[in-house]
Amino acid sequence: MSYIEFKDVVKQYQMGEVTITALDKTNFLIEKGELVVIVGPSGAGKTTALNILGGMDTVTSGTVVIDGKDISKLKKKELTKYRREDIGFVFQFYNLVQNLTTLENVELATQICKNSLDPKTILKKVGLEERMKNFPSQLSGGEQQRVAIARAIAKNPKILLCDEPTGALDYNTGKQILQLLQDTAKKEKMTVIIITHNAALTPMADKVINFKNGKVQDIKLNKKPLPISEIEW
């Protein structure tokens, strides 16, 4: 059994009298510790799939099994617990608490989790040892995104979900952030899923899932993923 099983998932939204199908019998499998890149044009269903994996949205039909637990059957309260304990989120915009320091932002996340990691150790790992007492306004965009990643990793989640994590960053900073995510998947044996519209990033992944019109168009395995330093776009 795979670590993540997305089976025949349909997600429909009602807009007045019109039914919009965001996911149309979507299927994919992800193994524990894999770095997965999900690519596809806008409106392909990538973010909808990510939101369902993260417990922020529910399925219309189909099943989503994560580490043996069928999350598509969870009630609202159970979904909140799942989001809190099992999922780390990294978004395009960093969503840091502005009046808390770097360290306090990461500590905040660890206070709601049972098996959290030491915030100071994680901040050292992401290269922010000297910035722990700084506030978000005193950090660059890349540093703020590192805080957001540290906050997500410190929860010790089963899955790290990243939606366009370099979207607000310049080229070189974006590369550093992607390298950090690639290293995290390898060293921490964490399952990392990155959503992007940038197909040039696919060589960094163990697995590439291509979305189009709410369906998985194809799935490719990279036997030898490239380090970010060797990828240009």
CA atoms lying within 13 Å on the CB side of residue 108: 14
pLDDT at 94 over 90: no
Angle at 189 between CA 210 and CA 94, to 5 degrees: 65
The CATH architecture assigned to 4-230 reads: 3-Layer(aba) Sandwich (3.40)
Element (H, E) at 221: strand 215-221
pLDDT at 93 over 90: no
pLDDT at 227: 92
pLDDT at 92 over 90: no
Give the whole-angstrom CA distance, residue 123 versus residue 203. Answer: 27
Give the whole-angstrom CA distance, residue 192 versus residue 188. Answer: 10
Give the whole-angstrom CA distance, residue 76 versus residue 74. Answer: 7
The percent of residues above 90 in pLDDT, for the chain, comes to 82
Tokens 């989001």 appear where?
A: 83
Domains of the chain by residue range: 4-230
Please spell the DSSP secondary structure of 100-120, one letter per residue.
S-HHHHHHHHHTT-SSPPPHH
pLDDT at 102 over 90: yes
What is the rounded radius of gyration, in angstroms, for the C-alpha atoms of the chain? 17
In terms of pLDDT, which residue wins out, 167 or 202?
202
pLDDT at 167 over 90: no
Q: For the segment 20-71, what is each residue's pLDDT rounded down to a tens digit? A: 999 999 999 999 999 999 999 999 999 999 999 999 999 999 999 999 999 9
Q: What is the band of 170 on the pLDDT scale with cuts at 50, 70, 90?
A: confident
pLDDT at 48: 96
Answering whether pTM is above 0.85, one says yes
